[in-house]
Structure formats: structure tokens, C-alpha cells
Structure 1
Amino acid sequence: MKLKKLVVAALLLSASTWGGCGSSGVVKPTDEQNAFASVEGLGDLAGDDQMFASAFVAGAAPKNRKDYGERGYQVNGEPAFDGDSVTVPVKIFGGVHATSSGDTRGGKASSVAETEQVWTLQRIDGQWKIKDAPLG
């Protein structure tokens, strides 16, 4: 019985230290994950002028911001990294409802046809910004 208690105590002690193992427990996102987040979150950012502009390289934000808010975006393939630049195949789809309070579409979903485009992103000061994001 004493041996059983020692084994259980040892297992509990081991299990409590496995999670620590010298790591902080915080997992840093990869370059690929950061680039994907820049693409896939764009529809949400389109509800606000400043947030939308901040997703792009300075001066590259398209004038038709509301068109970007009516669509959803999904990385659809492998990105091609080249230093501080990456090209990403992006599936663009409609049917997205805007959630911003300034939306004037009355909650109607976009009926935009699905398409795929290649977008270009550039790393600036450690952050991925969209350089070119054609809709179709």
C-alpha cells in the first residue's frame, strides 16, 4: 500500500511539472499565421476607415472599403514567402453580413460570386500589411 501511494505521488508530481518544462506557455504565432490573419480578418476591419487603412501598406488601401466589408476571405493554398514579401492565394466569397453599427445595408447578405485572387503582403516593422488585394 505504501508503494502504491509513492507511485501516485510521483505521477502527480511529474504531471504537474510537464506543463512547465521551462516554457512560458505562450506560443508565438508563425509568420504564416500572421500573414493569414492579415488576410482573413480584412472583412471585419472594413467597418472602420482607420482600421481598414492600417491593414494595408501606407497608401495602398483601396477606395472601395465597403466592397471589402461585404465579402469574406480565406487563404486557399500555400503562401509563397520571399523575404519580407509573400503572395497568398485568397478565396473571396459573398454572403457576409456586416456587423458594424454604421452599416446601412439593412442586414442583407452580399450576393457576390465566389472567386480566387492572389494577394501580396509586405512585412513592415515586423507586421504583415496588405500591399495588393484585388477583389476580382
Structure 2
Amino acid sequence: MKIKFVSALLTLLCISSTVGCGSSAVKPTDEQNAFASVEGLGDIAGDQQMFANAFVPGSVPEDRAEYGKRGYQVSGEATYDGDQVTVPVKIFGGVHETAGRDGGRSKPSKAGETEQVWTLQRIDGQWKLKDAPLG
């Protein structure tokens, strides 16, 4: 009987330590959300609608395919001003293009490396690109 009690107690402790009080889901920070909008741009450039949704209405670049040929990495401190943020972004080539693939084959981009400052704006709680020059 003592063994069953100890076993039940251990089971209860294990369950309570994994469940805990409240949600175990971790919400991303505001900064992580803004950075994800920058660093994921090359991946979504292959889809016209997703690409357009990543930008503030009226500021979608016409050269979507060029954005798919590059990779993006936040390379410094973001500067916040209310619902707007500026971010230094390292833009590099050598990634496989996601826009305009022919039969699933793609070649690495030969685009060089540069650094630009991009501007994002929060619209309805989501960070969207307002100005994202390539170079």
C-alpha cells in the first residue's frame, strides 16, 4: 500500500510539473515579430499574395523575383518610434531562388552582399515592411 501511495504521488508530481499553472506557450516578443518579417522575406517572395501581404499597402516592390534571390538578416539594433521601426539589414546572395523556379531546379543567386536600413510599420498588430531597398 505504501508503494502505491508513493507511486501515485510521484505521478502527480510529474504531471503537475509538466502542466504547471497557466499556458506553457511562449509568445514571441515584438522585436522577434519585426525581425521575422525581415528575415523571412526571401522565402515568401515566391508567392505573390504572401509577398504583397508582407508590405504596407501601396509600398509593395514591383521586382518581387529579385527579393527571392537573396537572403536577409537583421544586422544591428532596431530603432523603435511608436508603430514604426527601422532595422539595419544585411542582404546577401548565394541562396537558392524561390521565385520563378523551373521544374524545381534553381541556382544560387550571384547577388553580392550589402547592408540597407529597412522601415517597418505595425498595422493591426502586425509588422509590415514599409521601405525595403535592396541596394
Three-state SS of the structure 2 residue aligned to 1:19 is: helix
Q: Does 1:95 align with 2:73?
A: no
Aligned pairs for 1:52-67 (under 5 A) are 52-67=51-66
* CA deviations over 1:19-62 (Å, ceiling 9, x no partner): 22222222111111110110011011111221111100001011
For structure 1, the 5+ residue unaligned runs are none
* CA deviations over 1:48-77 (Å, ceiling 9, x no partner): 221111100001011111110000001112
Q: What TM-score results when the alignment is normalised by the length of structure 1? A: 0.86
Deviates more, 1:31-40 or 1:7-16: 7-16
User: How far 1:121 sits from its partner (Å)?
Assistant: 0.3
User: How far 1:98 sits from its partner (Å)?
Assistant: 2.2
Letter in 1 for 2:20: C
Three-state SS of the structure 1 residue aligned to 2:19 is: coil
How many angstroms apart in 2 are the aligned matches of 1:15 and 1:120? 47
Q: What TM-score results when the alignment is normalised by the length of structure 2? A: 0.86
Question: Are residues 99 and 64 of structure 1, via their aligned partners in 2, closer, same or farther at CA, if it must alter by over 3 Å?
Answer: closer
User: How far 1:10 sits from its partner (Å)?
Assistant: 3.9
Letter in 2 for 1:13: L
Runs of 4+ in 1 over 3 A off after TM superposition: 4-12
How many angstroms apart in 2 are the aligned matches of 1:90 and 1:96? 16
User: How far 1:15 sits from its partner (Å)?
Assistant: 2.9
Q: Does 1:43 align with 2:38?
A: no
For structure 2, the 5+ residue unaligned runs are none
How many angstroms apart in 2 are the aligned matches of 1:65 and 1:96? 15
Q: Does 1:75 align with 2:74?
A: yes
How many angstroms apart in 2 are the aligned matches of 1:19 and 1:53? 41
User: How many percent identity over aligned positions?
Assistant: 66
Letter in 2 for 1:112: A
Report how many residues are paired. Answer: 133
